[in-house]
Structure 1
Amino acid sequence: MEIESFPLPSGQPLAEAYCLRSDSRIAHLFGGHPSDEGAWQARYAYLQEKRGGRVSAESLARVLRDYNGRFGAGEQVARRIGEIAQGAPVIVGGQQAGLWTGPLLVVHKAVTIIQAAKQAESRLGRPVVPVFWIAGEDHDWEEANHAYIQEHAPRKIAILHPGGAKTSISRTRLSAAKLKDTLRELASALPDTPHKQPLLAMLEAAADESATLTDWFAHVLTHLFREHGLVLLDADDPALRKLESDMFRMLIKRGGELERAYRQAGEAIRSLGFKEQAEAAEGCANVFLFHEEPTGGGQERTLLFRRAGEFVNRRGTVRMTEDELLDIADHEPERLSNNVLTRPLMQDFVLPVLATVLGQGEIAYWAQTSEAFRLLGMEMPIIVPRMSFTIVEPHLPKQMDKYGLNFGEVVERYAVKRQAWLDEREEWAIGERFGETRARFEELYAPLIELVSSLEAGLGRLGDTNRERILREIAYLEQRAKEAHARRFDAALGQMDRVAHSLWPGGKPQERVLNAMQFCNQYGIDWVKQLLAAPFESDGRHRLVYL
């Protein structure tokens, strides 16, 4: 396996400054940095000192055993949960549940979590457990319901929403028929390989045991990573919610102070010349409530705001006092959930977080929680940037050499490179000859327009219109000639396009588009093992992995 670094811009200057430690002014916005050896020991000592301020290890382990047991997690995961029960710290990262795995970055995040936990174990000389936090409480169905599989171009396979309330992904019930419809689409999109039927059989068996997209997602992650002891957690698990009651009470009672803390951090970020990643809306409680729709369509997840001493939603269909909301936190905490600004606080209350694995967008909005952590007497954990990969399949380097392509050209100027390759094989000088024809036509036609204009003004206007029409016809014929030339190279251009679609599908990073199932179809789960064998890096740089 060959690995090559590539400087891929993230569009997140604040996160890049954190990853590369290029701006010392931002240090107060974060906790310890992963490149500091002392930060790991200091964070572990903090966790030991503050163990009474979070969910008990034994209670947490019970919830994790029950949840992971549903997906056949196996001995390695059970052993890891046992270590949590004994007080072991964790490396945690998470993502919204998606179809099968969602985009490849989910796999990359799981790989980073496992790799970071191994490195932390060697640093501390004690067990450190990898945990994947499934954000099943999120309710953006259109973001979660699909997967892209590479054919000649990325093909989207999606599950339509079953109807009813706009509730969380983990509460959106799906029929077995809906799940299996997507499997039929997947089967038609994947080429035949020795791994195809076992893969489809695994997904079908998982579908039979899944009532939601989150269930199916958890089954697939378990299949890929159980040998490596990755422990799964669903943020919308009712049993977990019962452990979160005390933190919800704090978020409700100190909501006004937290809002000011988020604003203060936002002002600090702006003063340093960076942009805020998440909006700290005025009066926002930063807590969601699941409430029954009047139409009986189920429980909708709605964001709460503080208005005139009450908690209300934007539409005014929910209105309650602080005492009423606190009563829900005490007796029905499963009706509450976090937003992006309170989720980091809840994560640190639930888990003994040594470090958290984040993508660059997440790193940017975590900076806005720095003052909130301090307000609640907590310390932000070490942030480990998620490793970022483009997977280069074995057949691609030869094709890239054949057409003189490199990854940078595919990313930055593929259309120009493609046209230049085609132009080099154009033996008739089509563009030049049509250009000469247009120039000669203009030269011959100008005296005619001058002549008819002298006879009658209206004829001059007619002549101009006629000239433009003829030029359009010449341009049309030129385009058709160029298309005819390109058709002579259809096979080669198609091969070039497949290279580009594989490395940079739809003009976007591979990890943000393609689904892991096409790689499982081609390589089984060996490709995941190769990613896990890649050297661990905590600088957030993008890397090409040649399988």
Structure 2
Amino acid sequence: MKEYDCISYQKSGFFSKLIVDYLDEKENLKSLYHRSPKIENFRLQIEEKKQNFPKEYRAILVSSLENQYQKIETSEATKSNIQSLSDENTFTITTGHQLNLFTGPLYFLYKIVSVINLCKKLKQDYPTYNFVPIYWMATEDHDFEEINHFNFKGKKISWKKDSSGPVGRLSTDGLEAAFELFEKELGAGNNAAYLKDIFQKSYLEHTTLADATRYLANELFKAYGLVIVDGDRSELKKIFAPFVKKELLEQTSFHNVNKTNEVLKQYDIQVNPREINLFYIENDLRERIVFENNEYKINNTELRFSDEELLSILEKSPEKFSPNVILRPLYQEVILPNLCYIGGGGEIAYWLELQSNFEENKITFPILLLRNSVLLVTQKQLDKVEKLNLSVSDLFTNQQVLVNNKTAEYSNLTLDFSAQKEFLKQQFVALYEIASQTDKSFIGAVKAQEVKQIKGLENLEKRLLKAEKRIHIDTLERILQLQNELFPNQSLQERKSNFSEFYLEIGNELIEKLIEELHPLKNHFSLITL
């Protein structure tokens, strides 16, 4: 592997201290997860989940999925995976994502490729078992502003619409305008025609955002047997109803997660639990359930219920109860025979708050794996990287630091005055010795002179660096231009760009390359040449 092929997540500078410590398996975090993401640990995970996942849940899951897939063309690989979930030797690997317009940022693809490739790896190592890649659609989220747009070649394609209630139930009305804008930007060619067609069929020929997203994800990944799950289903919520009841009556997650957050207080806490971590949902309503004055109240509404009334609704209409970010992982692990959750840094951070709540509810905590991260580069960009003699770590370096480092590298002069400053400090040691033998006011004068001269050297150091930058300005500007191409707004490409920008250039080879080159159990940032 060439030097530019990868950089560790820990050294990339784009992950929090908590995630870096998790990847490094720091001792202080080991109580917060069940098993680390190593291939040998999956055997114990399989055995434990097999014992703890009821067979009757499998039949309900398969029936629900068959119902969800009724209206879309399903590949034989996906059909086979759905049917295999009836078998007690079949397990899932899961990722989840919001219903971003046209997949949103690039890492939507990386999450799904990670679960597909981990399933392949597990099948190689544990051939007597079956492993099904799952994409869990976040259909019950409500933050429309986060998902109503995507970026294409630096332009924002947005869906203008008023929104309330769970986003999965949103009507796709109004997406014609977004399609027209996208169509104009795409231009001509076979790949452009495919992108227009898949956008149109996803969003203009389906009535809800959940149906549109299922169609789109299925079209992109059906060849690899991806199974897409919508948890906003009455039959699946019915399985989860006992845990909802416990949450309502005992507020278990609030107490457990708060205890865990004490362990995590040296880090930035990702999410804080509420007393009740449930929403009450209808088509145009998604509001928190709160307990006040001995009754349950639906926030920002006039709805109020006694214990008996709310539990009666739960029994008859479990689909009206929606877990928030704290409880959604528990819901997922209750209804799926899941071994591992694959997510981004922020997701893994909040999962690390949850194990004690899983233990309280007697549900197996999944292995947590950081998704693959990728930097896509064209051959032309890669040629520039090599011509400019840049390393992969250079590309990930803060721009100011990068410019300073490269200026020092190109210069024939020593731009670091550390030796001169150290020599100066040694001269003042002798002056302090003299000052200690006379009036104390002289010590202050010596100190002031030392500070002044050190400051003078630092200013000279800065002026020399600035002068050398002017000499090498052309090369430095080419470096910054290249870095800005690869890191839009000095952020990760995968968090800003949409897959369509790259699909337009190389078509389905984009997904094929990701499937071929990404290795989910290796903690490095991959550079993939298009």
Q: TM-score range by the shorter chain?
A: 0.7 to 0.9
Q: Which amino acid aligns with 2:155?
A: R
Query: Out of 250, 268, 271, which is 1:275 matched to?
Result: 268
Match of 1:543 among 510, 526, 529: 526
User: Is this contact kept in 2: 1:287–1:337, CA < 8 A?
Assistant: yes
| 1:85 counterpart = 2:86 | yes
In the alignment, does 2:307 pair up with 1:322?
yes
Which residue in the other structure is 1:233 paired with? 229
CA distance in 2, matches of 1:69, 1:109: 25
SS at match of 1:278: coil
What is residue 330 of structure 2 aligned with on the other side? 345
Report the residue type matching 1:67 in the other structure: Q
Matched, 1:266 2:261: yes
Cα displacement (A) at 1:40: 1.2
CA 421–98 in structure 1, closer or farther in 2 if over 3 Å, else same: same
Q: Secondary structure at the match of 2:94?
A: strand
Query: After superposition, what is the alpha-carbon deviation per residue over 1:291-347, rounded to whole angstroms, capped at 9, x for unaligned?
Result: 5xxxxxx62101122223222244464322222222222111121111111011111
Counterpart for residue 431 of structure 2:
none
Alignment equivalent of 1:519, drawn from 499, 502, 505:
502
Checking the alignment, whether the CA contact within 8 Å between 1:20 and 1:539 is kept in structure 2 is: no
CA RMSD in angstroms, aligned pairs only: 3.0
**Residue number in structure 2 paired with 1:528:** 511
Q: Residue 377 of structure 2 contacts residue 529 of structure 2 at CA under 8 Å; is this kept in 1?
A: yes
Q: Which residue of 1 is the match for residue 145 of structure 2?
A: 142
Give the TM-score normalised by the residue count of structure 2. 0.80
Structure 2 partner of 1:123: 125
Q: Does 1:389 align with 2:365?
A: no
**CA-CA distance at 1:181 after TM superposition:** 1.9
1:181 aligned partner: 177
C-alpha separation between the residues in 2 aligned to 1:397 and 1:372? 47
Q: Once the 2 structures are TM-superposed, how far is the Cα of residue 394 of structure 1 from its aligned partner?
A: 2.4
Shift of 1:29: 0.5
Contact map agreement 1:55 1:243 (CA 8 A) in 2: no
The whole-number CA distance in structure 2 between the counterparts of 1:250 and 1:55 is 21
Aligned to 1:46: 48
Q: Is 1:76–1:229's contact at 8 Å kept on the other side of the alignment?
A: yes
Unaligned runs of 5+ in 2: 408-469
1:289 paired residue number: 280
Residue 19 of structure 1 contacts residue 539 of structure 1 at CA under 8 Å; is this kept in 2?
A: no
Within the candidate set 339, 345, 348, 1:363 is matched to: 348
Confirm or deny: 8 A CA contact 1:91 1:354 kept in the other structure.
yes
- C-alpha distance in 1, partners of 2:476/2:219? 38
Q: Tell me if the contact between 1:90 and 1:352 (Cα under 8 Å) persists in the aligned partners.
A: yes
1:96 Cα deviation after fit: 0.8
Which residue pairs with 1:14 in the alignment? 18
Q: Distance in 1 between matches of 2:479 and 2:187?
A: 19
What is the identity, as a one-letter code, of the residue corresponding to 1:275? D
Tell me the SS of whatever aligns to 1:245.
helix
Instruction: Name the CA distance, whole Å, in 1 between partners of 2:199 and 2:481.
Output: 27
- Farther off after superposition, 103-112 or 321-330: 321-330
Contact 2:107–2:494 (CA under 8 A) maintained in structure 1? yes
Q: Is the 8 A contact 2:12 2:396 kept in 1?
A: no
Contact kept in structure 1, 2:60 and 2:235, CA below 8 Å: no
Q: C-alpha separation between the residues in 2 aligned to 1:31 and 1:64?
A: 29
Q: 2:220 aligns with which of 217, 224, 228?
A: 224
Provide the C-alpha distance between the structure 2 equivalents of 1:41 and 1:405, rounded to a whole number of angstroms. 42
1:260–1:55: structure 2 CA closer, same or farther, 3 Å change rule? farther
Alpha-carbon distance between aligned partners in 1 of 2:168 and 2:347, rounded to the nearest angstrom: 22
Q: CA deviation at 1:207?
A: 2.7
Change (3 A) 1:189 1:399: farther
Amino acid paired to 2:213 = F
Q: Distance in 1 between matches of 2:113 and 2:291?
A: 40
Q: Is the 8 A contact 1:139 1:301 kept in 2?
A: yes
Inter-partner Cα distance in structure 1 for 2:307 and 2:143: 27
> 1:377 maps to which residue?
362
Q: Which residue of 2 aligns with 1:66?
A: 67
* Matched residue type, 2:170: T
From 297, 308, 311, the counterpart of 1:312: 297
Q: Give the secondary-structure state (helix, strand or coil) at the position aligned to 2:397.
A: helix
- Is contact 2:518-2:526 (8 Å) kept? no
Report the counterpart of residue 115 of structure 2 in structure 1. Answer: 113
**Counterparts of 1:257 and 1:197, CA distance in 2:** 52
Shift in CA distance, 421/181, structure 1 to aligned 2, threshold 3 Å: farther
Contact 1:108 1:386 in 2 (8 A): yes
The CA deviation string for residues 421-480 of structure 1, in whole angstroms up to 9 with x for no partner, is 99xxxxxxxxxxxxxxxxxxxxxxxxxxxxxxxxxxxxxxxxxxxxxxxxxxxxxxxxxx
Q: Which residue of 2 aligns with 1:472?
A: none
Partner of 1:454: none
CA distance in 2 between counterparts of 1:105 and 1:72 reads 25
Deviations for 1:352-381, whole angstroms, at most 9, x for unmatched residues?
Answer: 111111211111111111110111122211
Contact persistence 1:55–1:349 (CA under 8 A): no
For the structure 1 residues 401 and 314, does the alpha-carbon distance in structure 2 shift closer, same or farther, using more than 3 Å as the test? Answer: same
Deviates more, 1:100-109 or 1:328-337: 328-337
Structure 1 length-normalised TM: 0.78
How many residues are treated as equivalent by the alignment?
A: 464
Alignment check: 8 A CA contact 1:10 1:360 kept: no
- Counterpart secondary structure, 1:383: strand
- Whether the aligned pair in 2 keeps the contact of 1:77 and 1:226 (CA below 8 Å) is yes
Distance 1:501 1:160, change over 3 A: farther
Cα distance, 1:124 vs structure 2: 2.2
Q: Classify the secondary structure of the residue corresponding to 1:132.
A: strand
* Secondary structure of the corresponding residue to residue 244 of structure 1: helix
* Distance of 1:499 and 1:339 partners within structure 2: 41
2:7 matched residue in structure 1: 5
SS in 1 for 2:376: strand
Identity across the alignment (%): 23
SS at match of 1:412: coil
Q: Following the alignment from structure 2 to structure 1, what is the Cα–Cα distance between the partners of residues 529 and 56? A: 43
CA contact (8 A) 1:12 1:360 kept: yes
Give the letter aligned to residue 274 of structure 1.
Answer: Y
